[in-house]
Structures are given as structure tokens and as C-alpha cells.
Structure 1
Amino acid sequence: MILRKLTTLLLSVIAVCSFAQEPLLDLKYEQNYTPTYDEIIEMYELLDAKYENATLVENGQTDVGKPLHTFIINNEAEFNPETIKAQGKSVLLINNGIHAGEPCGIDASLKFADNILRNADNLAELLENTVIVIVPAYNIGGLLNRSAYNRSGQTTPYETGFRGNAGNLDLNRDFAKCDSENARNFNRLFTKWDPDVFLDTHTTNGSEHQYSVTLIAPSPDMFPPSQENFIREKLLPGLYRNMEKGEYELIPYVSWMYPDPKMGIKMTQETSRYSSGYASLFNCYGMMTENHVYKDYADRVKSCYQFIEVLAKFTSANSEEIIESRKTGRKESMTAKTYPINFELDTTQFSMLEFKGYEVDYNQISPVTGLPRFGYDKTRLYTEEIPFFDVYNPAEEIKIPEYYILPQTWNRVIERLELNGIEFMRLPNDTTMEVEVCYIDEYSNASRLNNGHYFHDKVSTTSEVQNIKYYAGDLVIPVRQKKINYLLEQLEPKARDSFFRWNFFDQILDQREYFSSYGFEENALKYLNEHREFKKKFEEKRQTDPEFAKNHRAQLSYIYSNSEWAEKSYKRYPVARIY
């Protein structure tokens, strides 16, 4: 009995001493300073050296030649994802510095890692059911391009990194298309850890209001029913409620309805180009904090820190339910008959939300130009109930196929499937298969570059069944696998961030065979004489269409396009379906 009491006393003393430890890291966000890339890594190396249950790991290179790090925190010296998953623990992945001029998450994550590791009580509470994986700095090229003049609407911190990476890409538009080495290694990292909850930390100047931190939440309607219910009934109410208990309230990201926030704000939907939209493809609860650029930097860091702490506690407390909801969601996705590839906001459904804003003023006079401008009157604060629109209805759905067939020539697409752990087989022999193919009827090109691409918009298609020759080594991809959502979003041409829209299949839009008006004449005449029904249609068109009747080239083109001479592969999307 005496020995047991002494042991208990000793453990209590150790816990108190652990709690009383001073912070290891010298963070200077209160002085409007955010650390350089080298300082960030040095601080995580300090934590790695001091604590056995945390480690700093390299995960391949980034475009600037520096490694992509993760800092893993566990309640034991176990850092293997497979072992951790087998123990039934959930994984919370936090990404920082994707836009290097928005560094509050970098400081907040450093503070969080320092505090959790030196506080035995927090360590036991948060890490019993959860492992936390932090990407200290994602856009390293942008962080190294540091200046006081990188972000014109931001006054603090005094120096920050640059929005673009070393190759001038916006990395938060690159998760699906993977042009950057950063994204390719992030895809590998995400596949390896398969996180249950994901957070990407940002800063926004999109609107002016009284909050330091806002949230782009996982859009419930993009998830299968069980996960939609979990988001609406437990995840979001829990996060908002627990944030309200702290110093900083949380509000949905303020994407407001014109002409005034009082008209309401709408939930945003992030597609797979964005980090949180990419995460949702894998039934992961992906979200973004958007701290408010017009607030003091210290408040931005502290409010981001508070959210990270709230999210970590929620993930730990609900670890088992989060894991099970993902399993159930995957089963629901794999047995669904249709899949929505586009959504539209339902403006008839909304809830009321307390909003603390500033009055909008469309007639402010600019102190710079002396001319009228849009702005906010920060002397006129208000708190009002406003509509919050968070329901999206499917605008277009597709029937889910059982298999996709992808010719091996499309190696850039195959590489990305492999990065994300997609299961597929290769044909052992040459064979002819009856498949459904679609043709790209119409599409529009962006008038300017979008992150290095001329993105295709307004895509329309028609489908038909054809017998197509495939070759040994071509891919047969079972659609009903764990990562079904990724397959549908990336391989269906009309999906919002599909590989087609990002120009991975543009060769099919370029016609290879053609006809000359002189050279085709003999074959055209022969074709008409051999196809009497078609010749009759051709003559009727000449009689009813005067412009057609006067145009030699148009008439030959009509014959060519409606004959076996026409190039069957022109505009034929190469990913075929089998139902």
C-alpha cells in the first residue's frame, strides 16, 4: 500500500513538472514576425531531439530542391502509418504554408506542437486515440522567396513568403493535376497516411467582419449519406460550439450574397484542385481555416491555434465514430448507382446564423484617388441574424460504370492513379471489347492561363457503344473500389476538375486525318453511288439549304463526316466505360 502511494505521488510530481515546463520554441508572432523556412525546420528539429514520441520525417523533394517534411506526434515512439491504423487510431493531418504569404498556421502549429508535447495531460487526452501529422511548410519555394512586399493588402507580419511556388504555381490549385513535385509527393503522403481528418491553414482578405478565424467546412452534400449526417449533426456543431467556449468565435467562410452580407452567406464547395476538395474524394473530412488578414497577426495565430486545438480534441474524442463513418461512407459510395458530377446552390433552404459585421458602404471616398469606392464603415458595427445557405443539389448525375478502360499511352494519367493507390489490372493480351465511349461535342477554353493550363469549361458530350481494339498492357480499372470518388471525379470528362478539363487528353481534340477538296472528289462520288439512302439525304440537303448548295467544300465535308472516311478517334474521349 505504501509503495503504491509513493508511486502515485511520484507520477503526480512528474506530471506537474511536465506541465510546468517552459515552451521550448521562441515564437515571435506577438512582434509580427513569422519564422523563415530554416527557422521552422530548426524548431521542429529541436522538438524531435527533445521528445521520443515525436519525429520529423522527410517525404521526398519539393520543386525548389528542399524536402517535404512531416512532424508526427504520437503517445509512443511509433510512427508507422500501417501500425498506427492497425491500432485503431485516427489520423489528423494539418498542412501549413501552402500560400507562403499566409503563415499564421505555421506559427500556430509550432505553438501547438510545443504545447502538446510539454503538457502530459494534453498529451494523454489528445493522443490516446489520435495521431497528429503536421506538414510544417508545404510551399517551400514560396517561403524562400521572402519579402516585405509580397502581399499588398497585408500589414503584418512584416515579412512573408510568396504565393507561388518555385515554378510559379499556386499549389492550392494543383492537388488533382499534380504539375508540381510538391503535389506529387503530397499525393504519396496522403495515400500513405489516409488521414481521417484534414486541415489546411490559410489567410483571407475576401471580406471585412469582426471575426479572426473563419472555416471552409467539408461540404456535406459532397459526401455519402452517413457522412453527410455526421458533418451536419456532429462535426460542425461540435467545432462551432467548442470554439465559442474559447477566446475566438468561429464563423463559416464569408462568401456573401450580393450586394450585402446581410443578404446571407453561402457554404463553398471545394473541388479536387484544392487541398480540402482533394481530401473529400477519399471520404476524409477535409477543411480550411481562413484567418482574417485585417486582424492583428497575433490574433490570427492565436485563433488558428485555438481551432487546431479544438479540432484535435474533437478528433480524439470522436475517433472511433469518425473512422466508422468513413468506412460506412465508402461502402455507400461503392454501392451507389449514380454519382453527382455537378451541383447548384439551393437558395430555398437555409438556416439563420448570428453574424457580426460592419456596414457595407458603396460610396466611400478613397483617400488615395479622391473617387468613390466600395468599402466597410468600421465605426458602424452590427450583430444580426442572417441566412446561411449550405445545401447543394445535384445539377447533373452520371450512371456509375463497373470498369474504366484506359489505353496505356496515357502515362501522365496512369502516374497520378498510381500516386493515389488506385487498383487496376493490365490486359494480358490484345483484344477487342464492346465498350461505351463518349465524344466531346463542345467545350470552351479559358481566355487566360489557369495555373499553367487553359482549363476546359462548358463541356458537353454524347455517348455510343463501339467495338474497340485494346492491347496487352492497357488498363482495366474496377470502379467500385475504396477510392471510387477519386476515379469518378478525375476520369469522368464533365466532372468539375477532371483530367480532361485540365488538358491531360487534349491530343484527342486535334484532328489527324483530313481531306483535300480535289483529292477526295473521286472517293466522295464513289461513296454516294454505293450508298443510295445517304445520297438521297445529301440531295435533299442541297435542295433545302441554299448556302450548302453553293459551297463545294461544305458538301464534300458533309460526305466525309458522315462516311467511314471520318476519323473515328477525333474527339473520342479515351477512357471507355463498361457497365
Structure 2
Amino acid sequence: MRPKHLHCQLRGLAILAFACLSLHASEPDHWITPAEASHFQTTPDPETSLAYLRRLAQAAPQRLQLETIGRSPEGRPMVVAIASRDGVFDPETARARHLPVVLIQGGIHPGEIEGADAGLMLLRDFALQGRQRHLADHLVLVYLPVFSVDGLANSSPWHRINQNGPQTQGFRGQSQYLNLNRDYIKADAPEMRDWLRLWNHWRPDEFVDIHTTDGADYPYDLTWYTEDPHKLDPAVDQWQQTLMHQLLPAYQADGHLASPYLEFRDGRDPSKGIENFGSGPRFSTGYAALQNRPGLLVETHMLKPYGVRVKAVYDLVAELLGQINRHPEALLAATTRADADTVATSDQTDHPIPLTFKLDPVPTRHEFRAYAWTLSASAISGQSWIHYDRSRQRTLSIPDWNRLLPDISVTEPAAYVIPAPWTVIIDRIKAHGLRYQKLPQATTLTAQSYQLSDPVWASHPFEGHLMLTRFAQSRQPRTVRLPPGSIVVPMNQRAARVAMALLEPQAPDSLLHWGYLNAIFEAKEYGEPRVLEQLAQDMLIKDPDMKAAFDHKLASDPAFAADPQARLQYFFDRSPWHAAQGVGAYPVLRLDAAELARLQAQPQPATEPRSSGHT
């Protein structure tokens, strides 16, 4: 046995032995968490976890309170625990006392439930003034142990084929088969609507989302991910980099091995390198970035024993909160500056905002601690099959394509306008807590608009949607008469990037891409073939260029030439009868500063405030 492997094995046994004991031998047995009581062979169901939290809150009401933020589709309560040394249990008081708010969630994928069990242990050790009694000295902790409570209730030993324990695991989707970690921006799930109310109520300064990884085998018991600097305000990025430079050495000094998130380019050959997994607004940390907040994705390693994974989360979260406690003013300064910067850029008409990102073509190098592996040919898949040898470790220098560069960017409008009939869009604006003005009367305005064409949809559903994968677009002025109840969403607000992610057609998780606006590509009026025959004859006589274009298409496109209906439709699509239907006219308008000022000067506008409460 090689010394390096022996050290790793002893480290794992030490962590497991520590995790399998109550962290407070002096505490009565009834404060041992359900997972500890089973020596981390099992994890509790939602009702058992909630019962434990309620007992804890009753025992320490000055330090811990519970709040129900909503109910799942199956009727289960969604509960957050609010931890505060000085009894600060509301965001207004936290802000008045200059205390940063840290939101931590577990169980968004409830088969990956370490965050819940580590959370119960941390909250106990804080509330009962154990080894974490200083956890919230200079901050307020909002802990959501189980986001997908219905998914956790749907537990089975057959849900996580890649994972080493616990004995049963929750299901990745909630009870409507939606993946909550693909739902942040589109907000289909009732649980996500409740989460967004929680977010807008507390406006946290730091966000942590706890998962378990799949994929390769390696010595690390935890990997982590933060958003690329190009996605963040510079103040937030600088704070985040400082945090990680302090956090990781301290964490690894506790005996853990940690690595940046390992998304391998080729799972059968890790030596080919890693790359950015492409987080965007549908994901937790991608959404936090739109809200000008640092976000930390935590991924324990699925093949480590469950107790090791829970201990890895416990220690990381405790160390992170300790870092924030030592310098709370630095985090508050970063998020305050980021919000102010977002508002300030709304006055810069030439300021491009990135919507999409691409991998930097020039990689850096990553020192990867790996298990040795071999490849064998598979007669089943026809591909190579990787085998890891945990008795042998080695360190490789592999290419790292984690850095991103802006790809598609657009200038920011002064405001967006959404006509009243488009309730599916207005509904999302409200769900995300964006500030808007409702027009009290019919209004005519001229604004920039998008004209879309050549749509192509995915062939298979994703999260219940047939997504629009590509289209052509152009921008042009349009004069429209807006009915009463249309809304204006100004960009001089802190969450302006959320509006752009929803409303700019090319944004990767725009409502257009998710298929909510498919109807705009459908013509509702049509022509009979006998009428279109005459229309085509007349158009060819009047327009020689059209005749040349039609003849070219016949010669170059055999499928078109063989389709009589397509040949007639060619002329209808280029006629005033088709243009009058507005096919492909994107309903969301972009206002410049002058037109916005005119709208805002109208007498007695009705304004609906952002919702600040939650159930």
C-alpha cells in the first residue's frame, strides 16, 4: 500500500469516525439528529426533520425561529430556520443593524441531501450554544434544509445509481416532475414561486446551494463552483475571490480535500481536461449572479461514505460563516455597490450587457489529484470503459477551460413594455419581484421591437417544454397602441439583469426560448389554393426580382420544388395579407429614455409595488 493512499484512507476513517458520533456528547441523546442516530446510514423524511427543527426552535427561541414560506404541491410545509445571536428574525432589522443575510439551502435535489443533515447539526450546535455558538454573531442565517420536500418524501433505494448511501434517497424531480434547479428563471414550480418570495423578502447577501455530484471517481470529498467574473459585478467578484482564497486553505487544514468543480471534457479520459459546465439563469448560482449576489455551489463526492459527505458540508458551511462573521462589512459593501452599479448603468445607452457566454479558447492548467485509471473496450456500448484504481493516486496537470468570455451582448433599454394581454410574461415579472408601472389607460407609443423568423424547436421535451432552439431576429421601430393594464419595467432597479434574462429573446433562458411565446410564429389567417394561384401570378408579373428569387429556390431546393403547398405559401408569406397578421412580432418592446420619460410624465400613473411578504 502506497503512503499517499494510506494517508487518504486514514483521513477518511477519521472523518467518518468523527461524523458517526454526536458532536455533543454532553447533550442529552434526544438532541442527536436522526442521521447521527443511524450512524449516517439513513436520512430522515421531511416530517421527521421538521419535528426535530421545531423542538430545537422551542428550546432556543431567542436564537432560532422557524418560518413557513409555502406549501409543496402535495401540501407539505416548506420551512426555513432563521438563526441569529441577537434575536434578529426579520430582514428590516437585519438591514438596520448592518447584518449580512446568508441564505443556505439543501435538498433542491433531495437524493443529494447532505445539506439537510449537516444543517440540523449546525443549527443544533448554534442554538444550544455548542461548538458553533458564534455561528451568527455578525450575520443572520436563513437555512432551508429541504427545498424539494415532495421529492424527499418520494424516497427509494433505486434513485441514485451513482451514489454511496444513504440507504434510500429522494427523487430528483418534485411531485410535478420538475427539476427545481432548472426552474429559477422560468419559475414554473409552486415551490420556486415560494422560494422567489423568500429571496425578495430577505434579499440575501450570500447564497449557498448544496448538492452531491455524479461523474468521475477521485480523492476529493467536495468540489465547489462560483460564477465567472464576467457574470458578476466587480465588487461582488472581488469579495468572492477574497472569500475563496481564505476559505479553502482553512477548510483543507481541517483535513478535507477540495477542488473546483470537475466537469470533464471526456469522462473516459480525465487527462483531456475540465471545462465550465455552463451555469445560467436556470441554475441557482446563475440566478444569484443576476441578482448581484455571490453564490457558492457545493458538490460532495457521491462515492464517499454518507457520513464523510455530511461532515464535509458541516465544516465548509461553518468555516464560510466564520469568514463572513469576521468581516461582515466587506460583504455588505460589495452587494450594496453591485446594486448601485446596476442602477447606474441604466443611464448608459452604449453599455453592452452580456446575455450568453463562451469558453475562453485559451485554457489554464489545473493540478488534478486523481486515482489511476485504465481503459478497456466494451462490447456492450462499443466505447471505452474507464476503471479507477483507488490504491494508486497521482497528480496530473490538465487543461482547464473554466474561464468564460462574453458572447452575445445587447445594450440595455431604459425600460421594457409588456402589453396587457401577455399575462404569461407579466406573471413572471411579478414572481421575480421586479418593479414596474402599470399603465392606467390606453397609450400609443413608438419603441424598438424585435421581428423574429425561421424558428426551430427541440424534438424532445425538456422540463415540460419544447424549447425554441434557434431563430433569426432583427430590430426595428414599431408604433403600437397599448391597452390599459400594460406594464413598463424600468431598468434603473437592482434586479434589472433578471428582466433582461427573461425578456431579451437571445438570452439563453428567455421566456421565448422556453417556448412560452410560440404562438407568435403561427399565422391565423390563410389563403385558399385557388386564390393563392392568382396572387402568385400577379406578384410574379409585378416583381421581376421575386420571379428570379422564386426560380432560384425551385432550382436549388428539391424539397421545396416538390411541395405544391410550399410553393404557394412562398407568395402568401411575402404578401400584405401575411404581413398584417404580425407573425413573428415579438410582443415585448424596448423603450429609450425619451419615450420612458414621456410615459412617466402622464398624470397619475398606477404603480404596483413589488411584493415583499410571503406566506
Q: Same fold (TM over 0.5)?
A: yes
Q: Hey, what does 1:36 align to over in structure 2? A: 45
Native 8 Å contact 2:353 2:412 kept in 1: yes
Alignment equivalent of 2:517, drawn from 496, 499, 505:
505
Give the residue type in structure 1 aligned to 2:199: F
* Farther off after superposition, 314-323 or 467-476: 314-323
Cα distance in 2 between the residues matched to 1:263 and 1:363: 17
1:76 aligns with 2:90: no
Cα distance in 2 between the residues matched to 1:435 and 1:44: 53
Q: Hey, what does 1:489 align to over in structure 2? A: 501
Q: Secondary structure at the match of 2:356?
A: strand
Report the alpha carbon displacement of residue 120 of structure 1 after superposing the two structures with TM.
Answer: 6.3
Cα distance in 2 between the residues matched to 1:205 and 1:321: 34
Native 8 Å contact 2:210 2:299 kept in 1: yes
Q: Secondary structure at the match of 1:565?
A: helix
1:456-471 correspondence to structure 2 within 5 Å: 456-471=468-483
Native 8 Å contact 2:370 2:393 kept in 1: yes
Give the residue type in structure 1 aligned to 2:591: I
Matched-pair identity in %: 27
Give the residue type in structure 2 aligned to 1:570: V
Alignment equivalent of 2:441, drawn from 426, 429, 433:
429
Report the alpha carbon displacement of residue 492 of structure 1 after superposing the two structures with TM.
Answer: 0.7
1:265-304 correspondence to structure 2 within 5 Å: 265-304=274-313
Report the alpha carbon displacement of residue 289 of structure 1 after superposing the two structures with TM.
Answer: 0.9
Q: Hey, what does 1:246 align to over in structure 2? A: 254
Alignment equivalent of 1:136, drawn from 145, 162, 165:
145
Alignment equivalent of 1:453, drawn from 443, 456, 465:
465
Cα distance in 1 between the residues matched to 2:45 and 2:322: 29
Q: Hey, what does 1:46 align to over in structure 2? A: 55
* Farther off after superposition, 155-164 or 551-560: 551-560
Native 8 Å contact 1:455 1:503 kept in 2: yes
Report the alpha carbon displacement of residue 484 of structure 1 after superposing the two structures with TM.
Answer: 0.8
* Farther off after superposition, 418-427 or 515-524: 515-524
Native 8 Å contact 2:164 2:304 kept in 1: no
Q: Deviations over 1:65-99 (max 9, x none)?
A: 11111000011223111221221111111111111
Give the residue type in structure 1 aligned to 2:128: R
Report the alpha carbon displacement of residue 556 of structure 1 after superposing the two structures with TM.
Answer: 5.1
Q: Deviations over 1:285-342 (max 9, x none)?
A: 1122111111111101100111111121122223211121122222333344111111
1:486–1:546 distance in 2 versus 1, CA, 3 Å: closer
Q: Hey, what does 1:61 align to over in structure 2? A: 71
Cα distance in 1 between the residues matched to 2:216 and 2:100: 35
Give the residue type in structure 2 aligned to 1:248: H
Native 8 Å contact 1:436 1:576 kept in 2: yes
1:257 aligns with 2:265: yes
1:289-438 correspondence to structure 2 within 5 Å: 289-336=298-345, 337-350=351-364, 352-363=365-376, 373-438=385-450
1:79-98 correspondence to structure 2 within 5 Å: 79-98=89-108
Q: Hey, what does 1:224 align to over in structure 2? A: 233
1:552–1:107 distance in 2 versus 1, CA, 3 Å: closer
Give the residue type in structure 2 aligned to 1:195: P
Supply the RMSD in Å over aligned alpha carbons: 2.7
1:519 aligns with 2:531: yes
Cα distance in 2 between the residues matched to 1:372 and 1:462: 46
Q: Deviations over 1:457-495 (max 9, x none)?
A: 234311111212211111111123111110111111111
Cα distance in 2 between the residues matched to 1:251 and 1:21: 35
Q: Deviations over 1:152-175 (max 9, x none)?
A: 222311112222211121121112
Report the alpha carbon displacement of residue 273 of structure 1 after superposing the two structures with TM.
Answer: 1.3
Give the residue type in structure 2 aligned to 1:278: Y
Native 8 Å contact 1:91 1:196 kept in 2: yes
Q: Deviations over 1:432-461 (max 9, x none)?
A: 211111122234322221111112223431
Report the alpha carbon displacement of residue 561 of structure 1 after superposing the two structures with TM.
Answer: 2.8
Native 8 Å contact 1:197 1:315 kept in 2: no
Q: Hey, what does 1:4 align to over in structure 2? A: none
1:364–1:260 distance in 2 versus 1, CA, 3 Å: same
Q: Hey, what does 1:11 align to over in structure 2? A: none
Cα distance in 1 between the residues matched to 2:312 and 2:254: 9
Report the alpha carbon displacement of residue 563 of structure 1 after superposing the two structures with TM.
Answer: 3.3
Report the alpha carbon displacement of residue 231 of structure 1 after superposing the two structures with TM.
Answer: 2.7
1:364–1:73 distance in 2 versus 1, CA, 3 Å: farther
Q: Secondary structure at the match of 1:519?
A: helix
Q: Deviations over 1:209-241 (max 9, x none)?
A: 001111122332211223233333x02212222
Alignment equivalent of 1:183, drawn from 187, 192, 214:
192
Q: Deviations over 1:75-130 (max 9, x none)?
A: 1223111221221111111111111111111111111111122236743x432321
Native 8 Å contact 1:78 1:84 kept in 2: yes
Q: Tell me, which stretches of 5 or more residues in structure 2 are unaligned?
A: 1-23, 346-350, 593-615
Q: Secondary structure at the match of 1:331?
A: helix
Cα distance in 2 between the residues matched to 1:282 and 1:451: 23
1:114 aligns with 2:127: no
Report the alpha carbon displacement of residue 135 of structure 1 after superposing the two structures with TM.
Answer: 0.8
Q: Hey, what does 1:572 align to over in structure 2? A: 585
* Farther off after superposition, 106-115 or 30-39: 30-39
1:152 aligns with 2:152: no
Report the alpha carbon displacement of residue 349 of structure 1 after superposing the two structures with TM.
Answer: 4.5
Give the residue type in structure 2 aligned to 1:294: L
Q: Secondary structure at the match of 1:401?
A: coil
Native 8 Å contact 2:46 2:146 kept in 1: yes
Cα distance in 2 between the residues matched to 1:550 and 1:159: 58
Q: Secondary structure at the match of 1:83?
A: helix
1:94–1:393 distance in 2 versus 1, CA, 3 Å: same
Q: Tell me, which stretches of 5 or more residues in structure 1 are unaligned?
A: 1-17
Q: Hey, what does 1:537 align to over in structure 2? A: 545
TM-score computed with the length of structure 1 as normaliser: 0.89
1:438–1:372 distance in 2 versus 1, CA, 3 Å: closer
Q: Hey, what does 1:26 align to over in structure 2? A: 33
Q: Hey, what does 2:222 align to over in structure 1? A: 213
